[in-house]
Structure 1
Amino acid sequence: MIGRLLDGRYQVRSRIARGGMATVYLATDLRLERRVAIKVMHGHLSDDTTFKNRFIQEARSAARLANPHVVSVFDQGQDSDMAYLVMEHLPGITLRDLIRDNGTLTPRQAADILDAVLSGLAAAHRAGIVHRDVKPENVLLADDGRIKIGDFGLARAASANTATGQALLGTIAYLSPELVTRGQADARSDIYALGIMLYEMLTGEQPYKGEQPMQIAYQHANESVPAPSAKNPAVPKELDDLVFWATEREPDDRPSNAGEMLERLRSIESSLGFTSVATGAQPTIVMPASYSSEHADDVTQVIGRNTKPQQVPVRADATDGPGKLATKARKRSRVGVALFTIVLMLAALAGGTGWYFGQGPGSLVEVPNVADGSFDQASAKLVELGFVPVEGATFSLTVPAGTVAGSDPPSGSKIDKGSSVTVLVSQGPQPVDIPVLAGLAQSDAEQQLDALGVAVGTVNQQFDPSIAKDIVLAATDATSGADYSQGGPSFQGSTVTLLVSAGQVPSVSGMTPDQARDALESVGLGVGTSDEAFDDTIPAGQVIGIQAKTDADGNETAFIPGDDVTLIVSKGVELVAVPDTTGQTINQAIKALQDAGFTVGDIAVAEAFRDIFKVKKTDPPAGKSVKKGSTVNITDFGL
């Protein structure tokens, strides 16, 4: 680009600065023989109608303004595939440079600069134009002491509350609460940015800080800007109050436009004894021949109509104002002449330098951190650095769906300006299909879930007589309770609860109570109480078994490790005395023996005679104790 002739008129000399939409070059207008600044839109944005319209809007917005504190726009055009606009060239520095070099400005310096900026911005507001990107980078301090506001690239007509669209345009540190919360701006949004800028001039730092842009935006929307005097005790209360007024969270509580704020500032300057240097355009004065430049650095020359120069001693505090800046500017101007000569002598080197910063390693720019915001916010941040944002998708366990999780290349990477950067928007957790888990070994189930990114939460156990130890019996979602025993859809990051077999409860039949206790405790069961029961096969004092576990409804349930069981201990064989049935009819005797728990043997007598014949003898005989359930025979009966 350096050395190129645009439209046969503008000879590009060197690069001045580079921004998100365009690069600014120093050029010579061959037709009018003057230095100009040319802003050339980045090539990768030329095909984007939105950016091109915004670029042209800057020329139209600035061209409508005729104010000594607004950077003038001379021309706008297109050369081949390049859109450009021609502006007034102001050798000097930006307010950002001044704050970075000097830190805190004096109250007088801050008031002088704010006076000039408000004068220019008031002209814009009167013309119905909202700047929308007021910040120190867009305030120019010329070498000759002039102060101007420029870069109307985001300006819009202010006939209504101007919506910004989904992307929050402007620098996040200076965004008003209504821009953060509603995406709308009017003249009062510029006032808020001016209040933040005044705070920064008086304290050397911005009021809100955060690791992520969204943290700063949240503070703008929910917190009040602190008093500058809390950081810098030299700040007078009047300027504290001006910052408070300009940065009220509710737009209706702020000055309605820059003109209203300028009136208040002028009143403050008068009460503090500051003399404003930005009172508007002054008539041209022809300097008398008697004016001597040799006194320019030690006295102020007061020049008026039909008056001779008067030498007025410089006030001690006057060095805090633009006079000091102008002195530095004259020194920079003299150095600039020498540097320009060197540049002409080293044209070839300049061309190599241009390649280095334009196409070579010098064009590398660090990819910013765009996480935790929306795609539109990330896109605006990338465009400002000269990248082309591309929307992409990723799954994330920690970043909510719709929020940016990161970028590709990742933040911190250094890549060529104009490169594409994929903004990875979170889709939330990644969906997964859980396989059938019932019947798997616990270790296999855990391995398969881990491979899917699903966590295993609580592992419960229960004894099962038919399923081997450590085999999964059931699986459920830890949050929703959904049954995954036979598999089903879930997502990465979910948690599954497993129910696993503890094997069979040990058989303790035939053991002593102590032996049974040891066997049960070895598998995690305890012994609570013991009951006794007769048993024909288990000797007295040995364990018959354990009592079944039931729920409140009496239904049998499975034991789990930690349960206490009830042992049933044998009392041995139960003996019962044979009842005396002598004299009873056969049927009466049969009933009495059966009621006593015995079985009656066959009797060789017809049924019709059983209520007639009476029992005379039984075997075993009446009164003898025998095992309950034994057979008793009626051996003798008759009339």
Structure 2
Amino acid sequence: MDIQVADSLLGTLVDGRYRIRGRVARGGMATVYTATDERLERTVALKIIHPTQARDPEFLERFTDEAKTIARLTHPNVVAVYDQGRHAGLPYLVMEFVRGHTLREVLAQRRRLNPGEALAILEQMLAAISAAHRAGLVHRDVKPENVLVAEAPSGGPGNLIDSVVKVADFGLARAVEASATDGDGGQLMATVAYVAPELVTDGRADPRSDVYSAGIVLFEMLTGRVPYDGAQPVEVAWQHVDRDVPAPSTLVPGIPAVVDELVARATRRDPQGRPTDAGAFLSEVQTARDDLGTANANTAVLRQVSARTVTIPRVTAPTAEPARPTWSRLPGQAEPPPSGRRRAPEPAYDDYDDDSAPGLRSKLGERYRTVMANPRGRMAVAASIVVLGLVFAISGWWWGMGRYTVAPQLASMTKAAAEQQATRGGFTIAYGEAQFDEKVDKDVVLSQQPAAAGRILKGGTITLVLSLGAERYTVPDVAGMTLQLATAELEERKLQIVKGPDRYDDNLPKGTVVATDPAADTETKPGDKVTVFVSKGTAPLSVPRVVGKNLNDARNELIALGLEPLISYKKSDQPRDTVTKQTPSDGAGVEPGAKIELEVSEGPPQVVVPRLIGLPCQQAVQQVQGMGLTPNPQLNPNGTVFAQQPNENTPVEPQSQVVLFCQ
């Protein structure tokens, strides 16, 4: 069983004020902890930059300047910054602690959101980002990990429409990006799944770059996935430059066209085609949400009409959507007025002598009788009927059979081979939501619609479902977290949590996770069990080292500490009654009365003394020495052995003395 290394910062007092209590998350640039502000007695979030980001003195200066700018950014949807400083040479920020989940965690649980929920969250995101844009700040790293969703003040868990949304990490990416640009000629800092094309091509960013990233986040909330993926980050980044983001309704049927248009407007590759900043995009989102509410109201009225055969007054305007809170409207924006329903135009008739409907029918009847009275007219009518019949027959064949062909067999092919086969047949490929499969490799076609040999329009679209391969998850590093946070991290990866026995730990406070089995970064399958060990705090006793000591001395030392030795003998080259191993090892924390297992040497194997009588004394001396014994010749060393002590066939300890009597 592997043991994880504890975070050395846990329990540390930063700047004589902030006591670090637990680790919340670790990202690419910083680690976030929960801490107690011992001066104001409140819980805060402490973000400490990684040492790799803090080696550049110019970065430290930029980071400090950015922190001061962010601290002046006050908005209900922005995570507030309370303080900044340095600890052990590493810059840190003290921020508002938001009790809730990141949008990434919400999507991991819900997979995707309905349009109403997605637009409600996006409005608050854009309200925060637009406040930053007005202050001259560009976020540069808009993604679900930087969006916090707190519990709704007017609703229970799961009520996303009324939840309070806050955006974090304003300006942090800018400070890191500026430092990297000076050092190595430019480095793309934004997460590639959400990066704007202009950041990939020339490294510049403005408010429209944040609009693009917000559009990608909206796409992911609606579909449960980002628009592009690839084997390498650079492949994903360049897809933003080379391809248009698909409409969400192509992946999730039923998404309204007005929501598709929002995604298309925000994610245009040319920045000139996007809303100028988050405020402009927020205005479009609010208008779309009003339209979405109107469509829902009209649908409800139609359902009432179809369900009852009663006469109701003509509807002139749908019920207005409830007034939004102030954070969801731009400054000076009024409540949207109710929209009226237009009257359908009255049917019109051509300009005949008599412009009434009966007059029109009279004129048509008179012309028909005139044509049929002439033989040539009758032939023309007959020919026209024949031609129309042929047209209808050919059209019927074309619409019923002629425009169709059969779909090729693409299942079990790799993605590249399937695309090549479809292109040769003149078909277009679309992709459904990929699925995990234990037996099919990644990027191999699991299924197709229509099926092989099924009817399909010539040049039509074949929808493929690709395999994601075997579903595997890595055990996250949860050491230092509370049991509740660790459980949430593990369950998010579809792992079963087993509570192991609590352990004493001198570095981690009581109630925090000490280690897991399997250890962090171990690959697991969904449903695998992970044992979590929780700290009991500092142990009352520390086990002494007794290895190498005599058994009696070791036993007396342990008993004096209130510990119970358990003794077992093992074969060993050590002298008899020497302690060769102890469990637990020295330094381990235990309680009084704990059992300490001791392995004790039985001593080295004994040697059997051979018969030496009758041998020349010097030959007997050499034989005894070769057996690891000590010879002791007596009387005449140059004589013959006539007696020996110990006698022959007597087992003795190695290095024992053998007396040789020679004459």
Task: State TM-score, norm by structure 1.
Answer: 0.44
Bigger strand fraction: 1
Bigger radius of gyration among the two: 1
